[in-house]
Amino acid sequence: MAKFRVIIDYTVCQGFGACVELCSKFDLSDVDAKSHVEGAKKVANGEAVDLDELDCHKKAAEACPFNAIHIINLKTNEKIV
């Protein structure tokens, strides 16, 4: 079972790309001007990916000025970011 869930909330993502600058796992789409994280699938209000290990995701999430990126520890249900 994956240990972490990374979620991007598109209701608040403004597409300025601080996350993309800090972590190559994130990419800005020309189509919708939202951030996309590698391996993610669509969920309500955005997208999410389950991961065994975090790379630079936490750094990107902490840098988001709109608090659009959330990280959950799936074992403890603790919200890390």
Residue with tokens 């970011």: 81
Q: CA–CA separation, 28 vs 38, rounded Å?
A: 11
Output 8 or 71, the one with its CB closest to ligand SF4: 8
Give the nearest distance from C-beta 16 to ligand SF4 in angstroms.
Answer: 4
The answer to whether 18 and 65 have CB atoms below 8 angstroms apart is: yes
Instruction: Note whether 19 binds ligand SF4 by CB under 6 A.
Output: yes
Instruction: Note whether 49 binds ligand SF4 by CB under 6 A.
Output: no
Q: Are strands 46-51 and 35-37 parallel, antiparallel or unpaired?
A: unpaired
Question: Which residues of this chain interact with ligand SF4, rule CB under 6 A?
Answer: 8, 13-19, 35, 64, 66, 68-69
